[in-house]
Structure formats: structure tokens, C-alpha cells
A and B are shown apart, each in its own frame.
Chain A
Amino acid sequence: MTAEAAAMTGISPRDAERYEEKEFGFWLYLMSDAIIFSLLFATYLVMVGNTAGGPTGKELFSIERASGETLALLLSSTTFGLAAVALSAADRSKVLIWLAVTFLLGACFIFLEIGEFRGMIAQGAGPERSGFLSGFFTLVGTHGLHVSVGLLWILVMIGQVLFKGLTAPVASRLMRLGLFWHFLDIIWVVIFSVVYLPGLL
């Protein structure tokens, strides 16, 4: 067993309890975030028909781009899971590799999304064009902002794994990052099911 693995397993029951409490607190934050997203979904659904004579989802959305974004995010959830598996095996280099792959997939997603937003704004379909587009940019933009924060968090954790090693606090933070990342994937499943697919139909 490496020194890192010993550091991970050698935590006192008191510390373990503390990490569990942090985990639960973070879970409560995610649930409140889920409520914010659900109300943005409700707003979008109320607004979706109000195009004010402007472009509709059918004219603006691209199924190729939506599938690309979906594929990048789904795969990134799995690669993060593989980082967590490597973490429990205390395999530092594998943790770093999978975190880096997760970061790249997340960055692909953001790259595609920014391209989509820029294209829409360039053709005069920005958030100010209609109620539908205000709802769209608020909902999808809030999710994109969350993913961007997640990317920053992945970079910070790559730095911590590099410089601090797989200590118990670092492992605990990686766990919470995992919850956040998988949660954003679920929100995206609802976004493509509520926004993109019905819009393209």
C-alpha cells in the first residue's frame, strides 16, 4: 500500500463523520439547485410558444450540435466515475489522467455551447428577441455556467492532487465534485428532453 492509500484509510471516525456531514450538506445544496433549475424549466415551458414572430426552436436548434453536446457530457460523467475508481485504488496518475479527460470532454461541451449561442446571437436570435429566447438563454446558460464552474473546480482538484496528493480532504473534495458533475449531467438530460428534442420535432 502506498503512503497515499494509508493516508486515505487512516482517518479517524471523527473525521469520517465530518466528511459525511459535508457530503450531506453538499447534497442539500444540489437539491436546492435542482429546484432553481426546475423553475427555470417551468419558465421556459410557459415561454416556449411566445416567439413574438421571431425564429422558433426548429429553425435555431441543430440536432448534430445537440447530440455532440450530449455525447461529450455523458462520456465525461463516466470518465469522472473512472477517476473515482482510481481514487479508491489510490492510483494517483490514473486519477490525474481521468480528471484531465473529464476536463477535456467538459471543455468540448462548453466550446459547442458557446458556438451555438454566438451563432444564434449573430443571426439576431439573442435573449432579447422573444420570451422564448429569454427563457432558452436563461435555462441553458445557467447550466453552461454551472459546467464552467465545474471545469474550474476540476482544474483546482488536478492541482491539489498534484501538489497535496490523495489525502483524505482531497478525496472528500473529489467526491463532492463528482456529485456536482453527475448532477449537471442529469440536468442536461432534462434540457435535451424538454428544450432540444421537442423544439426540433
Chain B
Amino acid sequence: MDVSSGIPVERTARPYIIGIVAALILTAIPFGLVATGALPRETTLVIIAAFAVVQILVHLRFFLHIGLEAKPRENLVALAFAAVLIFLMVGGSLWIMFDLYHRMMV
């Protein structure tokens, strides 16, 4: 689906097929690691986080059709602005709360 116009312009199922295959692989690996416990806890957590970020990008690209060339650019700009807000608010909240937590525990 093209985000830029009210009318869909896509003609092929190709991006959705690429998207679902990538999404299933990116989901199966972290689920498999958790189910088998093959790797140490910290390594697994890092892999889960990294795969989540890649999978979000895959969804944005192949399901929502947002790319760096997105038209109109406002969609991408709004997404970037939301990402900054999310980073500040989530990062800030976690920083404050865990700092408080550690100070209270001392």
C-alpha cells in the first residue's frame, strides 16, 4: 500500500511475501533461543532486542511501505519525530525510575 495517496498503487504481492518470510525468520530465531535456552541469558536478551529492531524495520518497509524515499516526506518526518519523543520519554522514564530504585535500595 502506498502511504502517499488515498488509492493503493501496489500491483503485486511481492513485498508482502518478502515481509512475511523475513518476519517469520526474525520471530522463529528468538523464540527458538528462549525455548531451548541454548545461549546465556544476557546474549539471548541482546539477540531478542536486535531482532526486534530489525523486524520493526522489515514491517515498516514491506508492510507499511515506508522508506527513506517515502512520499510525502511528512510521513517519515512524523515517524522520526515520534521516535525522538519515544526515545526521550521511555529512555528518560527508565533512567529516572531505575536511578531512584538503586538509590532507595542502598
A78 with B20, Cβ < 8 A, contacts A42-B94, A186-B56 known: yes
Known contacts A74-B27, A78-B16, then 13 further A-B pairs from the complex at CB < 8 Å, ordered by chain A residue: A15-B6, A24-B72, A27-B78, A45-B94, A77-B63, A78-B17, A85-B13, A88-B7, A89-B11, A172-B7, A186-B60, A189-B55, A193-B30
Report which of B15, B19, B82, B89 forms a contact with A31, defined as CB distance below 8 A: B82
With the chains together, A82 CA to B17 CA distance in Å? 9
A193 touches B8 (CB 8 A): no
Q: Which A residues contact B (CB, under 8 angstroms)?
A: 8-9, 11, 15-16, 18-20, 22-24, 27-28, 31-32, 34-35, 38-39, 41-43, 45-46, 63, 66-67, 70, 74-75, 77-78, 81-82, 84-85, 87-89, 168, 171-172, 174-175, 178-179, 182-183, 185-186, 189-190, 192-194, 197-198, 200-201
The yes or no answer to B68 lying at the interface (CB within 8 A) is no
**Size of the chain B interface, CB-CB below 8 angstroms:** 53
B63 touches A182 (CB 8 A): yes
